[in-house]
Amino acid sequence: MSLPDVLAGLRRAEQAAGRPAGSARLVAVTKGHPLAEIDTHVLAHGTFPLGESRGQELRDKSAERPELEWHFIGPLQRNKVKYLSRVSLVHTIEAAWQAEAIAQAAQGWGHAPDVLLQLHNGEAQKHGVLAADLPDTLRAVQATGLRVRGLMVIAPDVETGADQAGILRVFQDTADRAHDLGLAELSMGMSADYPLAVQAGATLIRVGRSLFT
């Protein structure tokens, strides 16, 4: 598969859901791939946000190519905040202290990234804000001055036998909660499940493996 194949699948998913073409945007997950591969497999086909989850790798790539749109999509530890200076969107906020650390660091960057709150999907050992805590976490993050654009969720993995109906319910529940909170952005869906995410209203899908195979 290649990026054009993924884009074609994304357009088919939008059409099947009765959505306008381009209403769901691809975030190309580029962790582990050098810039030469990213140029060949991703940027040769257009301009896309690039998603990184490793702090030092993000620092090095974004320093070399600061003109590109960089997103951070991995678990955010305190020692990684300093690597986010060229990031436009952080997908994985799950606690107010993370937003506070970003807001403080951003005073020296001259700009602050927008953020998404990561919703816990109910599986053990997963990151994210518990659904019951979303309103309070949203208020606390907004109080730091950062702009909260929406929610992110990682669904159970279809490749390990997760039921597609259950995955769709996770996506639809996330979309419903974002709507109730007045949030428009929905980062949902990866290589194996993005058509279900588009069906539920995803505005950003995070695909990596399929782009480089």
Give the chain's domains with CATH numbers.
3-211 (3.20.20.10)
CB count within 10 Å of CB 213 equals: 10
Residue 156, pLDDT above cutoff 70 = yes
pLDDT given at position 160: 58
What's the predicted TM-score (pTM) here? 0.95
Tell me what pLDDT residue 122 has.
Answer: 76
Question: Nearest-5° angle of CA 83, CA 189, CA 111?
Answer: 30
Over residues 186-210, the pLDDT tens digits come to: 999 998 899 999 999 999 999 998 8
- As a whole number of Å, the end-to-end CA separation of the chain is 6
Quote the crossing angle between the two packed helices 134-142 and 96-106, to the nearest 10°. Answer: 10
